[in-house]
Amino acid sequence: MRKLAPNRKLKNPVEIIIQGITITGRVTAVEDNSGLPGVNVVVKGTTVGTVTDVNGNYSLSVPSTESVLVFSSVGYIKEEIVVANRSVIDMGMVLDITALDELVVVAFGQQEKESVISAIESVNTKELRVPSSNLTTALAGRIAGLIAYQTSGEPGHDNAEFFIRGVTSFGTGKVDPLILIDNVEVTTTDLSRMHPDDIQSFSILKDATATALYGARGANGVILITTKEGVEGKARISFRFENSFSTPTKELQMADPITYMRMANEAARTRDPLANIPYTNKKIDETIAGTNQYVYPAVDWQEEMFKNMAANQRANMNISGGGKVARYYIAGSMSQDNGILKVDDRNNYNSNVNLKRFTLRSNININLTESTEAIVRMHGAFDDYNGPIPGGTSMYKSTLQVSPVRFPSVFTPDSTYQFANHTLFGGDAGGNFMNPYAEMVKGYRQESKTVMLSQLEFKQDFGKWLPGLTGRLLGNTTRNSSFDLTRAYSPYYYGVMSYEKQSDEYKLLQLNPESGSEHLSYEPGYKRMSSSFYGEASLAYNQIFGVHSTSGMLVFIGRNRLDSNAENLSESLPKRNLGFSGRVTYGYDLRYFGEFNFGYNGSEKFDKGHRWGFFPSVGVGWVISNEAFWQSISQYVSNFKIRGTYGLVGNDEIGDERFFYLSRVNVRSAGGYNFGYNFDGSSGRGTSISHYANPLIGWETAYKTNLGVELGLFENSVNILADFFDETRKNILQTRADIPSSMGLWSIPQANVGEANSRGLDVSVDYTYSSSQGTWVVARGNFTYAKGVFKEYEEPDFSDVPWRSRIDMPITQEWGYVAQRLFIDQADVDNSPRQDFGDYMSGDIKYKDINGDNIIDEFDKVPIGYPKVPEINYGFGVSVGWKNFDVSCFFQGSARVSFWIDSYNMSPFRIYKPEGQDYVLETGLAKFIADNYWSEASENPQAGWPRLSNYAVSNNNQKSTWWMKNGSFLRLKTAEVGYALPDMVCEKILLSSCRIYLSGSNLLVFSKFHEWDVEMGGNGLNYPLQRVFNLGVNLTF
């Protein structure tokens, strides 16, 4: 086109031929500066436009400098920009987190987001990225409706506990949600191994219409994950590498050894003035003077055994691409997590915790014909674990189970043993005391776990015969196998035989010459395997007739699972499910929606008469914002939808027994009797019945109601999603309580008589803002409240002690005594009701007599504190980006939860032999006890720890409000700063994009409890949760 020269008269004034201005540029995603293919670049108000190529580049002729370019793409916020005088216009597009899933993944299919009337929450997988190898630690506080908490930080054992909408059943079976990856049921550990980069969609299905199709185990909610598929185009390689340092968030402080000895003497004398004191003045003085650290040891066991920091690495790579015939997505990841245990230099093996994880995934889509598609998914996950024989958590517990002054961890050899070829571990001649350092380094345990999954799926489009009809066939087999073994030598323990103070020389005595060994012995461990098969066939119909949209679906599933290592015949039989489910939906004019689902499932657990369960559900929805009368305010409230559902879902994992309709009779294995002169005549043994047959046991059923409101304000920049739910769970399996002894039964039968109810609220709010200069802000918050109570529970008649009844109390509520104070003196003890737990005196805990019968016993137990599973989980976070930088942080909190300090295991100075072991433990002294305890000098009735003792005082170890602590907290869960390299730099090094970031996890915690990380609750001596500092880089080619 010829440019219009100024001052030139037009030949034909009507026909103005304008020379187009060529604009070029690159469209990228702001998070990582990667090029975005397939973005529509259109001149506003015209049909002139183009599409970006595979690198995000475009070239377009625009009519004039006043033209407005509109950039739009599915899943990204539309951008508009005036051309002005530029010829190169680059654009960064921000992910539209609400429209990201215009297609929402629902049970066995996908639905348009607008028509979804179930309570389904989709999570943006970017939210799930935390600097940890365990995905379950990212869940708490990020998803409305999910209550989660983590109690241990040990690599390989750090899965979080999570529940959808709280705990709603008190059966002994499954109360946590069903987890499905690519429609196959997997365990929590498989979920923990998933890498967010491989996840295409992550949804949680909360109410009846969403989960009814999964009838067999959907009653506790469903987590549905699909993995990525290949995208047509040149191979895109993405690579991520992270290196982190982790340290404990908080460790239990121990008192210093001198205080330990002084308090041990006090503990011995305070209850029995004539007792021997365990530590003489000489020992105390010499230890203070530091005369010889081996003869008068003062050991800081935590310092001896644990490091401050551990390094972990993670790498993940995925390649996706394809052509017209086939597309592929291949991903591999590797991670290594180390523990914080120290290693003995003399050993040539490493007994620190080390967990290596490898996963490999390959998803291949093949277009066999125009209408047939085959998908092959193969996945393998391999764990290799190396660690101390008792395990990381036991090592932490054991630092409180040894005295700091009895023996050192290791002796430097004396003249006799200087040529010994083994480590001289400390011990005591007076008894076989456990040496935790020896337990840690004496050997190692290796564990190996494998999961192999292979899946074949066929999709057929029957559009030629009936438009909108599609079919699908899927078969999957999963094999799990794991085993472990230990290798250890038997440590040689030494004690001090004599000590010459003048020359500062000691002589050692070998304590166990006959049982020590220098060579490694081998112990095989467990060997476990399981295999399962899953098959699915479905038929779906989707069609739009004018303003009516309908869809229907029928699914048939079968599942079979077999475990090795069964302990009896019943356990060895396969576990099977068959199910037949369907869904019908109808929508009118995108305004009114209705849905009906059903599931008809059978399980092998139940008697023939109760084997099958029918679980229907219905729902309706109304998109008010699509109504004609709404258009006037639609620029303020762009989306307003209300919906309600009601339905039934079943659960067949109701208890540990397999077949309730069969009796379990053990002949010749109960008590017996001998006749004869010397009881050597005829003898025999009777029959015991461990289980009575009950053919009436059947499905546990949940009746769920859900009401939801969705609000989108200011052109969807603010979105609010709120759901109110109410669930009644009936037919919960429970042990019968009203069977009198006169029935003479061998074991108490169970029956489906329990009932529970749960109700609550989950809300999520998010806000997005983006400007054309490339600044963007995303903020989101969510809140979950779920309270589950007993409604019917078999219990004795508590009408005269109504506080003991469980009805209308939360399911994880604890009962205990109300502790008032410590007894002030003996007169106080004599004038108070008798406490029936053994001996007690002044300085011990005084409990309240609730029923006024002057005895403190079972009838004075009342519900105390909040439930053990939190009732409230909330989280909020902000991400901000400008130019190539981005900063984000996320807070997570928990409220309405209580936990109890384990006073029995923390009671200091106790010497005892645990069951099943041949060594002796001696409880150490925690600093919080030493700082605040009742002593005869101070006699403070509100002191933290009651009168000392060197044995467990059962009066003080009852469950009561004395040891109850509030477990609520607010935590800065993650924070991240990232920088994306500019395009020009990237192109020079042949990269498509590159982003470097620094992130941290568990950085700060605010709570009332300070002795250990409050999220661990009553397990204060578990392997601590880790604070992580992480440096990562993400490259795409």
Footprint of another protein on this chain (CB under 8 A)?
Answer: 537, 554, 556, 558, 569-570, 573-574, 576-578, 580, 602-604, 608, 611, 659, 662-668, 670-673, 682-689, 692-694, 696, 738-749, 836, 857-858
32 phi/psi in degrees, rounded to 5: -135, 15
Contact 701, 695 (CB under 8 A): no
Q: What is the rounded CA–CA span in Å between residue 774 and residue 883? A: 6
976-998 b/e (C-beta count within 10 Å ≥ 16 → b) = bebebbebeebeeeebbbbbebe
Q: Which of 199, 239, 559 is nearest to 379 (CA)?
A: 199
Q: Which CB, 60 or 553, lies closer to another protein?
A: 553
Contact 727, 701 (CB under 8 A): no
Q: Which CB, 646 or 817, lies closer to another protein?
A: 817
Q: Which CB, 215 or 870, lies closer to another protein?
A: 215
Q: Which CB, 65 or 747, lies closer to another protein?
A: 747
- Supply the minimum distance, in Å, between the C-beta of residue 355 and another protein: 36
Contact 582, 554 (CB under 8 A): yes
Contact 847, 860 (CB under 8 A): yes
Q: Which of 605, 546, 621 is nearest to 118 (CA)?
A: 621
**DSSP-derived secondary structure letter, 6:** T
Q: What is the rounded CA–CA span in Å between residue 645 and residue 638? A: 23
- Supply the minimum distance, in Å, between the C-beta of residue 658 and another protein: 9
- Supply the minimum distance, in Å, between the C-beta of residue 263 and another protein: 24
Q: Which CB, 235 or 739, lies closer to another protein?
A: 739
Q: Which CB, 656 or 738, lies closer to another protein?
A: 738
Residues 6+ apart with CB under 8 A from 626: 114, 589, 590, 591
- Supply the minimum distance, in Å, between the C-beta of residue 905 and another protein: 22
Q: Which CB, 325 or 667, lies closer to another protein?
A: 667
Name the token pair of 563. 């475990």
Q: What's the N-to-C CA distance of the chain in angstroms?
A: 38
- Supply the minimum distance, in Å, between the C-beta of residue 629 and another protein: 44
- Supply the minimum distance, in Å, between the C-beta of residue 559 and another protein: 10
Beta strands in 249-325 (DSSP E): 310-322
- Supply the minimum distance, in Å, between the C-beta of residue 395 and another protein: 33
- Supply the minimum distance, in Å, between the C-beta of residue 754 and another protein: 16
Name the CA dihedral angle for 506, 511, 512, 516, rounded to a multiple of 10 degrees: -30
Name the CA dihedral angle for 149, 152, 154, 158, rounded to a multiple of 10 degrees: -30
What is the residue type of 43?
V
Q: What is the rounded CA–CA span in Å between residue 365 and residue 369? A: 12
The distance of Cα 182 from the centroid of its chain, to the nearest Å, equals 19
Q: Which CB, 662 or 761, lies closer to another protein?
A: 662
Q: Which CB, 664 or 821, lies closer to another protein?
A: 664
- Supply the minimum distance, in Å, between the C-beta of residue 739 and another protein: 7
Beta bridge partners of 621: 593, 643
Contact 588, 548 (CB under 8 A): yes
- Supply the minimum distance, in Å, between the C-beta of residue 215 and another protein: 14
Q: Which CB, 241 or 803, lies closer to another protein?
A: 803
Q: Which CB, 90 or 857, lies closer to another protein?
A: 857
- Supply the minimum distance, in Å, between the C-beta of residue 541 and another protein: 13
- Supply the minimum distance, in Å, between the C-beta of residue 100 and another protein: 36
Residue 742, Cβ density class (10 Å: 0-12 exposed, 13-18 middle, ≥19 buried): exposed
Q: Which CB, 662 or 996, lies closer to another protein?
A: 662
Q: Residue 709: helix, strand or coil by DSSP?
A: strand
**Strands 91-93 and 21-29, how do they pair?**
parallel
DSSP string, 537-574: EEEEEEEEETTEEEEEEEEEEEEEEEESS-SSHHHHSP
Q: What is the rounded CA–CA span in Å between residue 974 and residue 131? A: 9
- Supply the minimum distance, in Å, between the C-beta of residue 798 and another protein: 14
- Supply the minimum distance, in Å, between the C-beta of residue 807 and another protein: 17
Q: Which CB, 544 or 748, lies closer to another protein?
A: 748
Contact 352, 364 (CB under 8 A): no
Q: Which CB, 59 or 565, lies closer to another protein?
A: 565
